[in-house]
Structure 1
C-alpha cells in the first residue's frame, strides 16, 4: 500500500510457540514459529481492516528476516522503513503457553537480548517521506532498552512532531528485554510527555501509576487525548476526550492470546481514522470505537499466531452483528 496513514515502529520477530500446553521451557518438545512483534502485529491488523500502514524496524540479512519481510509485504504493509543488518540476527522469542492458552516469554535461544537486529535500528535511515504523509505514529517501549534503537525512537518522535502526526504509545513492557526495571520505568515515563494516546495493560498501569483508572492517569499526565487500559478477558477501561467507561470483553473460545492487545489497538486506530479525532467528543461514538477494538482483539484469540489470526473488516462487522457485549 502506498501513502501509509499509520506508521508502526519497532520489532518484527518470530514467536516460537510451544506446541505442548502447560509445560516449562525445558520440557517443551517442539515449537512452531509464528510471525509477530507488537508493532508489526498492529501494522498487519490495520492493513487487514483496510487502513494503509507502514512498518519501520530492522531485521537481519538472514532467512528469518527474509521470511518476515515477505509476511509484511504479502499482507500489504509498506516496508519502505525496514532496515537490514548485515551481521545481527533477526529476533526469535520462545513462548510457553499455559493450559488456557495464555503465553509467557521464555527466552531467546542462544542469543542475548541485545544481539538482535531490531536493536540496531538506525535513526539516520528513517525515511522522512513516510512521516510527511502519515497521520499516526504507533510505537512500543522495547526499543528504548537499547542505545541505537532508542535514538531511532527519539528521532521518529521528532519527525512525528514536526509533521504533526498523532503519537500513540502502547507500553507493552516486557521485563525480559531490560536489565533494570527502574531504568525501564524512567525511560518509559520520559516518553509520556511526547505522546497523544496511551495504551496500557492493567499490570502496566499499576506498575507505572499505582492505579488502573484511565481517568486518573489522564489527569495525572495532563497532556494526553486518551488512555486505554486493557485487562484481557475482563475487558477494558478508557478515558477518551473526557468520556470514561468500562467495557466487558466478548466471550469467545480462546486458543491463543498472542497479539490480542495489538489487534485491539489496530481496531481502535482504524475506527479513530474513520470517525476522526473529533468523534471522541461524543460518548456513544467513543463507546462504538472501543467496542469495535474489543471485537478485533477477541477475534484474534480464536486461532493460533498473532498475525495469521487477525480478522478482516468484514469479519469484524459480522461478529459485531451477531454478538453483543454483556
Structure 2
C-alpha cells in the first residue's frame, strides 16, 4: 500500500437527501414549523467516497441509482468530485432518498429509504476486478448485508485492507467481523456492537466534539479542533472517508487528520457537500495546533 493516496473502493449507498431545517426536532406526534428546505446528494457510501476523493486519493464507487430524475444528478455528483463511477449501476425504479431534519443546535434526525441501494445484492465481475486492484475497501450498512460480507471476504483474499462503518448499526455476522481490519464507529454504535468490536484489530471511535479514540496496537484519544458547528450531518462520513485516505500514514496520524476533516465538515451544511479538500483540512488542523 502506498504511504499516501491509497487506491480506495467504496461499496455502499447513494441517496438524494431531502433536508429540512427547524428550530427544534419534533418529538413523536408533534408538528413543528420548518425554516428551509433543500435537496442535496448524499448516502453514506457516496459521502465517504467524495470525502476520500477530496482528500486526494483515487476512489472508485460501487453501487446503484434509479432511473428517476435523481439518478443522473447523483451520478454527476460522483464524477464531478473525481470519483470513478464506472461501477455505478442504474436500476429500474427510484433512487435512494434520505429525509433529514436539522435543528438550530446542529443536531439531526434521519430516515433512509433504500430504493436502488436495496438492489445491490451481489458483486459483478467488474466489481471484483475493481476491488482486487484497490488498497482499501470501505463499506457501510445501507446496502444488503450479504453483499458487504461477500465483498469483505473477496477483498481479504486479495490482500485489500477492509474498513467498516457499521451504520445503520445492526448485529454483525461472524463472517463480517472476521474479515474486517478497521472498524469505524461512534459511541452509540460501539455500545450496540459490544464485545464484537474487540474481535477487530483496529477500532476507531468518533466522540463528536471531543474528537476520536483508537484501540489497536496501542490506545489513545485525539482531540477535535474547536469549531462553531453548523450541521453535523456529514461529519461522520467526512471522518471515515478522510481516515481511509490517510490510513497508510499510521493510526495516530490518520485519526488526527480524519478528526480535523470531520470537524471541518460540521462547519458547512449538507452531507456530500460539506467535506473539505486536503488544503482546507490541513489549514484547520494546523490552526488548532497553534
- Pair 70,316 (structure 1): closer, same or farther in 2 beyond 3 Å: same
| Aligned mate of 2:240, from 265, 277, 302 | 265
Corresponding residue SS for 2:80: helix
Which residues in structure 2 correspond to 1:56-67 (within 5 Å)? Answer: 56-67=62-73
Which residues in structure 2 correspond to 1:142-291 (within 5 Å)? Answer: 142-143=142-143, 149-173=144-168, 184-187=170-173, 190-209=175-194, 220-221=198-199, 224-240=200-216, 242-273=217-248, 275=249, 280=250, 286-291=251-256
Size of the aligned set, in residue pairs, is: 281
| Aligned mate of 1:98, from 97, 103, 107 | 103
Contact between 1:18 and 1:28, CA under 8 Å: does it hold in 2? no
**Partner deviation per Cα, 1:259-285 (whole Å, 9 max, x = no partner):** 211111222222223x2xxxx4xxxxx
In the TM superposition, residue 318 of structure 1 has moved relative to its aligned partner by 1.8
**Partner deviation per Cα, 1:190-230 (whole Å, 9 max, x = no partner):** 521111110111011111217xxxxxx66x31xx3311011
Q: Which moved more, 1:306-315 or 1:293-302?
A: 306-315
Contact between 2:6 and 2:136, CA under 8 Å: does it hold in 1? no
| Aligned mate of 1:306, from 271, 283, 286 | 271
Which residues in structure 2 correspond to 1:13-92 (within 5 Å)? Answer: 13-24=15-26, 26-29=31-34, 30-87=36-93, 89-92=94-97
Q: Distance in 2 between matches of 1:9 and 1:236?
A: 24
In the TM superposition, residue 235 of structure 1 has moved relative to its aligned partner by 1.7
2:113 maps to 1:137: no
Q: Larger % of helix: which? A: 1
Q: Which has the higher contact order (CA 8 A, sep 6+)?
A: 2
Q: Name the structure 1 match of 2:11.
A: 9
TM-score using structure 2 length: 0.89
Contact between 1:4 and 1:130, CA under 8 Å: does it hold in 2? no
- Pair 321,311 (structure 1): closer, same or farther in 2 beyond 3 Å: same
TM-score using structure 1 length: 0.80
Two-structure CA RMSD over aligned residues (Å): 2.2
Corresponding residue SS for 1:81: strand
Q: Distance in 2 between matches of 1:23 and 1:320?
A: 31
